[in-house]
Amino acid sequence: MAQSKPKTVENALWNSVQRLLDQREFSAKELATYLELTEFDFNRAFRSKKAIPIYHWAQLSERLNCTVDSLINETLDIRQAAKFANKITTILPEKYADCQRAFSYSQSTLTVINHLTLFRSPAHVRNVLKRLQLTIPALESNRGLVSSQINMDLLSLLKTDGVSEKEFESMGTFSAVSLRDTSVGNTLEKCTSAQALFSKVFDQQYVNLETLCQIRVLKLSKNQCVIELTNTERVKDSFSRNVIGLRETCHFRRGLAASLSTFINLPSAHITELSCMYLGDDSCRYQFDFPHEHSNLRSLQTASGSLNDRSAPLT
């Protein structure tokens, strides 16, 4: 009498994946993410029942709140696993959900992640999110507010990954561009000069973007703007430090702020850093110089009806 072929561990594991798919609690895309595989690699391995490193199965079991043994022995409670997996992917770690000390908008974090996806790689993004114990759904489902700690940890981690000063500035520029189709962008596009735009940003809009720093406009004319940023006393007390933030935050802010004038189809402002509290100064001070030809350029654009053209290059 012929004996049945013994079931391999790989077959047992992939059979559990088949059960997860059959009961429609998970999609192939979700399971590929949990296994930390691309959809292509997942589908290829699934079809051939190919062996993959045990690390991937450990990641899956962790996300499903079960053991690898339960996957091998096909004793996984699928509905319970689905409930748990959905819960952890949409909940921020407590330290990032606590907005009492200082908050920012999760959109700024997502913008950095989108920049990394485009200009680094999806694999780098997955690695970063794993190290921060974050998920995209958690960032997207938290009503837009996150602790300012999340961006400090993100930028600090990227620095250890070798992200350069220019790349951080590029992230800031990318963030400015991403604001175009928001209520903030719509408001800024109605300004008729760089002076009016910078006045609106630093007198009104900036306070809506983060609460880590307070800002003062020291000088504002048709050719120049000088601002000063300091940590608020409340934030200092809550973090028990005199300086909160990172030097990399300055690079990001420079890229963002210099690009603001592009909202009204003007060249980026030239920015000079006058002081930095992350280098030992009492505050961060920036000087923005607007090109002298702005007023003439604006007049020409108004006459030609090109104010709605968003094709002006970002420098």
State yes or no: pLDDT of 206 exceeds 60: no
State yes or no: pLDDT of 313 exceeds 50: no
State yes or no: pLDDT of 101 exceeds 80: no
State yes or no: pLDDT of 67 exceeds 60: yes
Q: Quick one: pLDDT at residue 292?
A: 61
Q: Quick one: pLDDT at residue 296?
A: 44
The mean pLDDT value for 279-291 works out to 92
The mean pLDDT value for 283-290 works out to 94
The mean pLDDT value for 305-311 works out to 38
d(CA 292, CA 307): 19
State yes or no: pLDDT of 224 exceeds 80: yes
Higher per-residue pLDDT: 177 or 310:
177
Query: Which residue bears the tokens 């963030």?
Result: 175
Q: Quick one: pLDDT at residue 165?
A: 94
Residue ranges of domains in the chain: 9-89, 94-163, 188-304
Take residue 297 and report the two structure tokens written for it. Answer: 């350029």
Q: Quick one: pLDDT at residue 170?
A: 95
- The CATH number that domain 188-304 falls under is 3.90.1520.10
The mean pLDDT value for 70-78 works out to 84
CA 315 to chain centre: 22
| Pick among 3.30.70, 1.10.260, 1.10.20, 3.20.20: CATH of 9-89 | 1.10.260
The mean pLDDT value for 262-273 works out to 91
Cβ of 81: how many Cβ atoms within 10 Å?
22
Query: What global pTM score does this model have?
Result: 0.68
State yes or no: pLDDT of 294 exceeds 60: no
State yes or no: pLDDT of 307 exceeds 60: no
The mean pLDDT value for 253-280 works out to 92
Q: Quick one: pLDDT at residue 287?
A: 96
Among 184-188, 212-216, 263-267, 311-315, the least confident range: 311-315
State yes or no: pLDDT of 182 exceeds 70: yes
Higher per-residue pLDDT: 299 or 56:
56
Q: Quick one: pLDDT at residue 210?
A: 62
d(CA 70, CA 77): 9
pLDDT band, residue 271 (cuts 50/70/90):
very high
State which H helix or E strand residue 2 sits in: none
**Listing from the earlier edge strand, what are the strands of the sheet with 284-289?**
213-220, 224-231, 284-289, 270-275
Residue-by-residue DSSP string for 239-285: HTSS--S-HHHHHHHHHHHHTGGGGGT-PPPEEEEEE-GGGT-SSEE
Q: Quick one: pLDDT at residue 142?
A: 59
Q: By percentage, how much of the chain surpasses pLDDT 70?
A: 86
| Backbone phi and psi for residue 173, each to the nearest 5 degrees, phi listed first | -60, -45
The mean pLDDT value for 13-39 works out to 87
pLDDT band, residue 232 (cuts 50/70/90):
confident
pLDDT tens-digit profile of 129-171? 888 888 887 887 756 778 888 999 999 999 999 999 999 999 9
Q: Quick one: pLDDT at residue 274?
A: 97
Cβ of 269: how many Cβ atoms within 10 Å?
24
State yes or no: pLDDT of 185 exceeds 80: yes
